Chain A
Amino acid sequence: MRSGLRRFVRENSLGLGFGAIFLAALVGQAIAGWHQFNADQVADNLGRIGFGRYLTSADFAVDVAENWQSEYLQFLLYIAGTVWLLQKGSPESKTLDQGGLESDEDQKVGRYAQPGSPAWARAGGLRTLTFSWSLTLVMGTIFLLSWLTQSIGGRAAYDENQLQQLQDPISWGSYLLNADFWSRTLQNWQSEFLAVGSMAVLSIYLRQRGSPESKPVGASHDSTGVEG
């Protein structure tokens, strides 16, 4: 039993590790955000709220959602973009002759599926088409849902502030055109795009031994699509 658990942890350490630090960071964000919110309330001679109420507030919702939508957009664009976009020398890129969706044989679908291939890779038709794009579809769906959540929570937080400033609230439609929505959106997007671009370029010349995100230490700067 103990060896089974140890094996499970070892074989899933990447997912478990990032899951754990995600939860820790989310809890930390909630606590810090709650204190910040109440500090702002007191500064405006307004009432403080409890931690439970803060967790269900628009302020917390928008702060979480605006980060989630940009992360999933980053992965959506990265996953889909690297189908066609190439970067010579980067391990983040396919080799220069592999641009595009590639052949059925390379992708092991249909009659080229192997004994361990997922059923929908072998099935053909709509199922194989859907499965072939499933990662992009799910990332895109999560991005859209979290962006929608950001817009709804952001509008509520914005209008709470409007009322505190003795101004009329605005509609959700108006909020989608408002600087607050686009400022939140674009400040997150620019950092995500910078991170992906930096990784694609820095990994041409820099190495991390043992990481699949890096080329082997001794690989040439020109070698493309090679993992460590």
Chain B
Amino acid sequence: MLELYPDRNSPGRSPGNAGGPVGYASRVLSPRAFRLVIALLAVTGCAVGCAAPGSSAAQQAAVAFTRAVTAKDGARACAVLAPGTRSELEQSEGKKCSEAVLSLGLHPAGAPGRTRVFGTAAQVKFTSDTMFLGRFRSGWRVVAAGCKPVPGHPYDCLLQGG
């Protein structure tokens, strides 16, 4: 959590004792102006890419999908798929989604790691997988899973929408 203005009374923690640009700014600006500048930089500098509000929700959706696949619960896995991905899966496999999603050969993804969210798109990296998600009115949905990086090209995914 960004500390906008450390406790003045805390020895060694006053912004006036801080070195560098932050310390200088804290000495020449009023406390209110200093807080405003820090807040502005935090908002613009963090933008949508940092630990954005949607990152935990996107990660939860990705985890729900991989758990459902690991548990061989095709219906629950399909409930987390994006509509376009679901219909593409059914068309290409010629089966109902709940059967098709379990026949792709998706392996357990492992523990979730870094989650990146930008607007309506997210990427969740697991120890053994990478997933891409999209935000819909009903929440985050998996757009692609079982993805492996291909240098200079889009990820190669076992499951992806059209």
Q: Taking the complex as formed, is A167 at the interface, i.e. its CB lies under 8 A from any CB of chain B?
A: yes
B84 to chain A, nearest CB (A): 3
Which residues of B, 35-90, contact A by the 8 Å Cβ criterion?
A: 44-45, 47-49, 82-85
Q: B143 contacts which chain A residues (CB < 8 A)?
A: 46, 164, 166
Which residues of A, 138-172, contact B by the 8 Å Cβ criterion?
A: 148-149, 152-153, 155-157, 159-169, 172
Q: B153 contacts which chain A residues (CB < 8 A)?
A: 167
Interface string of A22-51 (1 = CB under 8 A from B): 000000000000000000010011111100
Q: A59 contacts which chain B residues (CB < 8 A)?
A: 119
Let me know if A45 and B155 touch, CB within 8 A. no
Task: Tell which of A47, A152, A162 touches B136, judged by Cβ atoms closer than 8 Å.
Answer: A47
Known: A47-B137, A166-B147. A159 touches B49 (CB 8 A): yes
Distance between Cα atoms of A58 and B120 in the complex (Å)? 10
Q: Taking the complex as formed, is B121 at the interface, i.e. its CB lies under 8 A from any CB of chain A?
A: yes
Let me know if B122 and A163 touch, CB within 8 A. yes
Distance between Cα atoms of A192 and B85 in the complex (Å)? 44
Q: Taking the complex as formed, is A57 at the interface, i.e. its CB lies under 8 A from any CB of chain B?
A: yes
Residue ID in chain B nearest A149 by CB atoms: B44
Residue ID in chain B nearest A148 by CB atoms: B44
Let me know if A163 and B118 touch, CB within 8 A. yes
Let me know if B155 and A156 touch, CB within 8 A. no
Q: Taking the complex as formed, is B123 at the interface, i.e. its CB lies under 8 A from any CB of chain A?
A: yes
Let me know if A156 and B119 touch, CB within 8 A. yes
Let me know if B116 and A45 touch, CB within 8 A. no
Residue ID in chain B nearest A46 by CB atoms: B134
Let me know if B45 and A169 touch, CB within 8 A. no
Q: A159 contacts which chain B residues (CB < 8 A)?
A: 49, 116, 118, 121
A sample of 23 cross-chain residue pairs with beta-carbon separation below 8 angstroms, ordered by A number, consists of A44-B84, A46-B134, A47-B120, A48-B137, A49-B120, A49-B135, A152-B44, A152-B45, A153-B47, A156-B48, A157-B118, A157-B119, A159-B116, A161-B121, A164-B132, A164-B143, A166-B143, A166-B144, A166-B155, A166-B157, A166-B160, A167-B153, A168-B149
Distance between Cα atoms of A46 and B143 in the complex (Å)? 9
Q: Taking the complex as formed, is B161 at the interface, i.e. its CB lies under 8 A from any CB of chain A?
A: yes
A127 to chain B, nearest CB (A): 18
Q: A149 contacts which chain B residues (CB < 8 A)?
A: 44
Let me know if B155 and A163 touch, CB within 8 A. no
Distance between Cα atoms of A165 and B118 in the complex (Å)? 13
Let me know if A167 and B154 touch, CB within 8 A. yes
Known: A45-B162, A58-B118, A155-B47. A163 touches B123 (CB 8 A): yes
Distance between Cα atoms of A164 and B154 in the complex (Å)? 10
Let me know if A163 and B132 touch, CB within 8 A. yes
Task: Tell which of A44, A48, A58, A172 touches B119, judged by Cβ atoms closer than 8 Å.
Answer: A58
Q: B122 contacts which chain A residues (CB < 8 A)?
A: 163
